[in-house]
Structure formats: C-alpha cells, structure tokens
Structure 1
C-alpha cells in the first residue's frame, strides 16, 4: 500500500520548493496529454538525461557556489549508486539514449568508475559522458575511459593562473591544462571546454580561447553568465552572444557558422583551417528552449525538467517508498508534461528562487 506521502507525490507531482525551509506550494492538477512519457505538451521528446552524482566539489567557483558556501545534503539523503543505476535504466527504457554525469564534481565519488561501467551495460544507452572541472583527470581519466566513458566536458573559465585562483578560490590551472592534453592523447574528440564569460573578468580572454582550437581537437564553448541563487548575477556582467561573435570576427573575419543538430544547445562556429571548433551557449540572449530534450536528476534524487525551473519531483522518496515502476513512470510523465514552453528570461530568472548551480548539477 502506498503511504500518504507517496499518494501526495503522485497526485501533486510538481512542487515549488523553498529549499532548506521545509515549505512548499502545490499546484493544481491539469488535464494531461496522454502521449509518450518523455514527450511534453509542446512536442519535445526528451532523450538526454543529466544525473548529478554529488553536491561536493574540490573547487568553489563564484558563479556556481555562493560566497558563504552551501548546506550540503546529508549522505543518507543522496542517491546511492544502485539508485542512480535504477533511475538510469528507468529513463533508458522510456527512450533516453544519452546520459551525462555531473556534480558538484563527479570525480570526487570513489565509485565513479563502477557507476560508468554499470551505465554502459544498460541496453539502449548510446553514450555516457561527464562534465568535470578537470582537476584530477591526470590521475583518473585512464581508469574512467577503461570503464567506458564516451565523452568529456571540462569547465575552464580562464587561462591565467591568478584569475583561476580568483574564480575557483583554489589553485590548479596547470593540472587542468594537463588533464585536457591527456584527454586529447587518449583520443577524446572533441574535448569540450566550457567557459562562462563574465564582463570585467575573462571577456578579454575570448581570443586566447579561440586560439586553443587552432591545432587541437577542442570545442571551446562560451557560456553566457546565468543567474542562480547566491551567485550575485548582474546583467552588467553578462557578455551576450553577439558581442562575443563581433570580437572574434574582428580577428578572424572569415569566422564561419556550422550546421547544428536539432537539439544542440551550442551554436557551432569555426575558424577555417583550425582543428577545433567554437560554440556559444546563449541561454540568456537567444534562448533555445523550443528544442530542449534534456532532463535533470539532482544528487538528492529530484527530477528537474528545466535547469531554470524551481519545480521538482523526488524520485528518491518514491523509490524508497517502494513505488511501483509503472507509477514512477507516471510521475515522471506528469512532470515532463507540465514543463513550460520556455524559461522566463534573464531578468525574471534573476529574481526567482532556485538552487545554487552546485546543488543542481552542471
């Protein structure tokens, strides 16, 4: 028999959470669209799942973590490895074919190689990738590749060691650069570099990052600075896509746009003759919500159907309450079908309560 708590989740699957306060607001049930569980009412079919493995990180990046830190969830309330694999299988059964492991910093989990290996054994799953700060790749990447890791995104916001210490509140730039070189040597192609561009901090390095693509199979992706709880976002710090594009074209007038896939979040460009490519993730100035095929599961087991949404469903609680798989799929479907058409824009997002990025998953 389902508990009252579980019944409440099933009947009211989308809850606007004010984290750490214990309060919530329940929205009324609406008429459902009974189609594929992972297809929303705007026809977007979700085939890409991002799973956060941990809230912990060995860096303290300013745009990701509030200056005074965060209250981490106690370990017993985080997803176990078995629960992660169970959730992954559940989503793959419904059509997900790509999973990205995030954090926090996923490499701080000692069981990461085992998780990757288990994921790779799931029939129907085509790709297992990971987003990392790259700090320990020289120690761990060979083992992760042997476990089956297919692709790699490395977060790096500056090529200057002093700036690196400012933005991450830690040392380690040289280790990250060596990790990138190792990934290339091991055959990852491309190695994706995620760079959050902030006016007055690293926007003067855009050209330097593009130069990295000249002789290396890198995909440098410039990300517009996005608002999350505690990261002191300010519109004046954001460098929009068109400004970055203009600066690059001032050096390479023949900077060339490439064709994108139907669900790509990054607008792809290249300097003719360069080995690598450049991308722009324009969540603020030129949103791409209409083609979004991504869902997220946080380290504490909550399903987020939108990175910028503050509505979540606890898959962890349902699993631990022994909810039947069929009911779990229905919960997920209800959440997906209430996904909004698009986020509210950067100014609305800057005022909306949401988790800090480190508690969502990169």
Structure 2
C-alpha cells in the first residue's frame, strides 16, 4: 500500500490526526496558465492593494507559529503557480528548517531539474496537476498552447530526481510525488490511462470539479450535461486515496479539519482553494494563527453537527450556508 509524505496516512498509521497539523500558505497570484477550472480566477475573485501583500518575513513568522502549534506540514497550493514565486526557495527552505514537510502543488511546466533538486534537498512533497494526456484537451483545459510535452518531459526529470526517495514505513510505501487529476466530462475516459502513466513511483489522485472561481463561468464547457455526482463512483475507484488526497480516517479532508489557510493578504481562510472566506475569519493582524484555528474549528464543528460530514467542505451543498453563518458572525 502507498501513501504520500505529509498526508494523514503517512503522519498517522490509521489516518487519524489530532490537533493542528496543516498550514496552507497562499502566495500572491502569478500563473503561466489560464485554467478553465481555476479556483482563484473569475468574477468573484476579490481585489486588494499590492501594498497589502504579506512580506516574506510575515510568512516565515506564520511558519514558525505553525511549528509551535504542532504543525507537521506547510502546504503551498497557490494562488497561481508557486514555482515561479520570487520567495519560493526561501519559503520551502524555511519550512524544512522548522522540521515540517513542504507540500508544493504545481502544474509542472516550470519545474526545472535544478528546482526539482532543490525541492528534494528540502524534503518537499510535489503534487503535479495533470488533467489530460491528450495535447488538444490539455490546451483547452489549461488555456495554453503546446505545453503538454514540456510538462511530460519535466515530470520525467522530476521522477529521475526523486527516484530514490520512496521509503518503507510499517508496511506502507511513502512517496514524495503525486499527480492530481480534476475529473470533468472532457477527461473522465482518460483516468485509467493517466493512472497507468503514474506507475509505482507517483501516487494518483483524482478529484471532482468544484463550481468555484473560473469554473462558474466555464461549467458547461467542462461538464456539458454531467454533474460531479456522475463521476463519484469512478473517482472513488480510481483515486489511490479513495477521493481527495487528504482524506483522513474521519472521511473528511484533513486540510480543513486539522488546518487553516492564509491568503496572500493575510486573511484566514477555510481552505486554500476558495477566497470566499476572505474577511470572514479574521486576519493575521487581529488573530494569531492559534486563535484563528480555534475559532474556525468551533464554527465548523457546529456546522458539521447541523449539516453532516462532507469529504470536501467547499464542494458540499451546505458550503453556502457556512458562508452565510460566517457573515452573520462578523
């Protein structure tokens, strides 16, 4: 059996986490892609002054606070493409120096061999987004032209750099490379082929599409007459985690149940993949990381008791009610 370094299956043999585990640290938006599914673009994207962006010093301080709280991993999932951010090396090095696991999400197009070697040296887990092995479909979904072959070449370079990083721990093979596919009507027939491409050295995850960000406007292109529920059984079967990567024993995403995100401007967020909670959970100016995490946990516990569990909070039908509750509390 396989698991990804930094996930509940790796950090706890039974997949059950307790207490604060994950800081999701979003960087200011910069991306070489224009994806139809992007969480961080679209009409609902908030606009703030550039001068309000967090500094490297403030982000390093958040990393230190996460360590003090018992954090095990710091996740850099966006906004945009983390690998081109000016401070990515300083942040990854800072996370590793605190004894935590850097988890980096990337489209893979700009991860050079040199950068992959840096990530490996700093014990980073790399999660690569790949939604198709068909060049035309890839171009359509990413808003690029001719990028697929570059990405596939880079994945092979990353594989070579990471080839000796797998470790055996109590019957589990712990991998530091994963590939994530967001399932739509465009690519659902490719899942088996993409999973085969992953082989034994890359962990395969697939997720349902979320109607957030750009996907609100591109939904018909991505889904046609399908719904995410139409692909639920297929995702459960094909994804090595049974669904989202961070599913824990509680069958909920542990980024949400055991973590908190921070926006590029210092807003606390329920998850790195939605800006809809910006301004609703406080900021680093008025709450410490620990205070914000406790506040978020209290509200979410009440919400889950009322509306039930969801393996992905922001994809759940009740998410709009959660937003309404937050607005009533401010």
Question: What is the TM-score when the length of structure 1 is the normalising length?
Answer: 0.64
Higher-Rg member (1/2): 1
Match of 1:329 among 280, 290, 309: 290
Aligned in 2, Cα 1:212/1:116: closer, same or farther, shift over 3 Å? same
Q: Which residue in 1 is equivalent to 2:277?
A: 310
CA distance in 2 between partners of 1:107 and 1:345 (Å): 26
Structure 1 residue 164 displacement after superposition:
1.0
Give 1:124-163 correspondences, 5 Å limit. 125-138=99-112, 140-142=114-116, 144-145=118-119, 148-163=122-137
Structure 1 residue 148 displacement after superposition:
0.8
**What 5-or-longer segments of structure 2 have no aligned partner?**
1-16, 167-174, 325-330
Structure 1 residue 241 displacement after superposition:
2.8
**Secondary structure of 2:290's partner?**
helix
CA distance in 2 between partners of 1:213 and 1:138 (Å): 19
Match of 1:236 among 216, 223, 226: 226
Match of 1:194 among 173, 176, 180: 180
Match of 1:220 among 185, 190, 204: 204
Structure 1 residue 51 displacement after superposition:
0.9
Q: Select the structure that is richer in helix.
A: 2
Match of 1:177 among 146, 152, 164: 152
CA distance in 2 between partners of 1:69 and 1:336 (Å): 25
Deviations 1:236-292 (A, max 9, x none): 24243313456x6xxxxxxxxxxxxxxxxx753xxxxxxxxxx53299xxx933863
CA contact (8 A) 1:52 1:102 kept: yes
CA contact (8 A) 2:113 2:158 kept: no
Structure 1 residue 175 displacement after superposition:
1.6
Match of 2:189 among 204, 209, 219: 204
**What 5-or-longer segments of structure 1 have no aligned partner?**
1-42, 249-265, 269-278, 355-362
Aligned in 2, Cα 1:245/1:328: closer, same or farther, shift over 3 Å? closer
**Secondary structure of 1:242's partner?**
helix
Question: How many residue pairs align between the two structures?
Answer: 271
CA contact (8 A) 2:182 2:206 kept: yes
Question: What is the TM-score when the length of structure 2 is the normalising length?
Answer: 0.70
CA distance in 1 between partners of 2:321 and 2:183 (Å): 21
CA distance in 1 between partners of 2:56 and 2:269 (Å): 19
CA contact (8 A) 1:101 1:131 kept: yes
